[in-house]
Structure formats: C-alpha cells, structure tokens
Structure 1
Amino acid sequence: MIESLPPAPLWRRLIAATYDGLLMLALWMVTVLIDAVLRELAGASRSWGSLQLYVFVVWLGFFGWFWTHGGQTLGMRVWRLRVLRDNGDTLNMVSAAVRYAGMLLVWGVALTPLLALTPPLRVEPHAAIASMICGGLTMAMLALMLFDRRLRAPHDWLSGSHLVLLPKPAAKSIG
C-alpha cells in the first residue's frame, strides 16, 4: 500500500510547514519564557548560546516525537501528509534527528536573504550578497525536488525519508 501512495505536492508541504511554523513560534515563546523564569530564579545571567541549544532540543523533541509516533506533525495531519522512511517504516529517532537538522539547514539558508535585508540587522553588503547566493542555491536544491520521482527535498535525501499524501478518509454515513 505504501508504494501506491502519491508523493506530497510542494504546495501541501509549504502549507503544512506554515501550520507547523506557527506552532514552532508558540513553542519558542514558551521555551524563552521558561528559560527566563528559571534564570531569574537561579540568579543566572542570560546565555544566548545555551538558549539556542535549549530551543534546538525542544524543537527536536517536538518533531522527533511526532515523526516517530505516526509520522505526522499537527500541520502534516491537517494536510494529510506523512513522513516515511524509504522502506515504508516510520522514522526512528536517529533519522528524525537527521531530517530535523537538514530541515533547519535548508530553511535557515533559504530564509537568510530575507533576514539579511531587514533594516535592524544592518548587514554588510558583501554578507547580504553571500546570503542571497546561499538562498539561491537552496532554492535550486529545492527545485531539484521537481525532478525526483518522490518529490524528496534535501532533508528527505539526508534522512532516507519521503513525504506521501494520504487518501481522503471515507465519508461517514448517518444512520
């Protein structure tokens, strides 16, 4: 049955990513709040490096748990997407971690040009050009998805996984 499921189209992936992005924003706010409260109670100074690591681990826990328990985040569930290993199994924690890290790399590089152009950052011109080149390369890598039979993104290749589109659930009869 797994072989008969079609690959997830790019537009569904992006909408599901938007849903999950909103969840990540909320999770980020709660994580920063907890970090701030714990640091205040302990009298510890702020450490951006440890906060970044903390957010990374919390998000890994979020994606890792959902991908290893059913293969769907909340955004993926709404849009009937499921991530599977290339052999049809659900992801294990190692492949979920590799997929998560690859996903962060792809999205981070893809969004860098937008961040570099925001006024408060005041990025040097050569750094802005380098980030635009990186963003262009990432978009080119994502465009390669269109030539892959299973529409795999770079983080899918790295983790040996792919996204499939699940069929619509059967209509429930009344009575």
Structure 2
Amino acid sequence: MTSPAPIWRRCAAAFYDGLLLLGLWMVALVVDTIVRDLVGLDRNWAALRAYLFLVGLGFFGWSWTHGGQTLGMRSWRLRVQRSDGAPLRWLDAALRYAVMLLCWGVALTPALLQVPQLASRPHAATIRAAALIALAMGLLWTLLDARRRAPQDRLSGTELVWLPPARTG
C-alpha cells in the first residue's frame, strides 16, 4: 500500500537529486567545452541551454520511466507514477521535468537575488516578492491537495507516493 509523499521527504529527495543534476550538468559543460574547442566553435547559449535541458531530461526521464525512482527518490522511498498508478511515459516525464525545473527556478530565485550583482538590478525586490508568493502558493497547493500533488504532478498527471519499508525475513 502506498500513501502520498510527505513534503519533507519530497524536499529531501529533491535536494539529493538537485545535487546529482548539478554534477551531471558540470560534466556536460566540460564535454561541451572540449568538443567546442576541438571543433573550433563559438559558444551558442541557446544550444547550451537546450543541451543541459536534454541531459537533465535524460537523467530524470529514464529514471522515471524505468521504475519511477531517481537515486534521491529511492533513498527516501518515493516513487513517481501516473495518477492511475501506471508507470510514466516519456511525454509524462518530459512535462513533469519541465514544470519541475520551472518550480525549482522559482524556489531558488529569492536566494539568487541576494547576490549583490543581481540584488542591485531594477525590479529585484518585486521579482523576489513574486517568487516568494508563487513558492508559498505552490506549497499551499501541495498541502491542500488530498494526494499531496505538487504543481509538476498536477500539470503532468502524476503523483509522488511514499513506499512502505521493505520487509525482511
């Protein structure tokens, strides 16, 4: 029997998976730099963003479509599934990943706007306030939902469940 994942477990798994994603992106940047230097290409920021998006989609998409768990989710006994209990398809995973990145971006915006170079920009305080309001609304949305679905779950038709401990003996 499964139950909706508690928010603190979701956050712990997200932190773990965020560190893994950061590591994958660093390796991807090294590969990009080496290939560009070998071929003699200038940096194309749009192509780099698309490449990093696809690297992350590969990690999350493969994990979610092959067992429903990333390493962070496995550590906290969480699994993502479609709302009907079926495994995710690649389209489900891609939509969930895109919305998840957007949510992470909103959640990290107030902290990033503490950096002096960004804090001094016009409208930084307004953007920080808007991000905090959006973050609070997303958390409230998750808390009030009977199945604890976050925005990325609702929009992709998925849910995150907490798995019971494995029986031994």
Q: Find out whether 1:151 has 2:145 as its counterpart.
A: no
Q: Find out whether 1:41 has 2:66 as its counterpart.
A: no
**C-alpha contact (below 8 Å) 2:118/2:124 kept by paired residues:** no
Higher mean Cα deviation, 147-156 or 136-145?
136-145
Aligned partner of 1:160 among 157, 160, 163: 157
Q: Which runs of 5+ in 1 are unaligned?
A: none
Q: How does 1:1-175 map to 2 (within 5 A)?
A: 4-172=1-169
Question: What's the RMSD between the two structures over aligned residues?
Answer: 1.3
Q: Which runs of 4+ in 1 moved over 2 A?
A: 120-123
Identity of aligned residues (%): 53
TM-score of the aligned structures, taking structure 2 as reference length? 0.95
Higher mean Cα deviation, 68-77 or 47-56?
47-56
Cα deviation, residue 122, structure 1: 4.4
TM-score of the aligned structures, taking structure 1 as reference length? 0.92
SS at match of 2:5: coil
SS at match of 2:153: helix
Q: Which runs of 5+ in 2 are unaligned?
A: none
Q: Which amino acid aligns with 2:9?
A: R
Higher mean Cα deviation, 12-21 or 108-117?
108-117
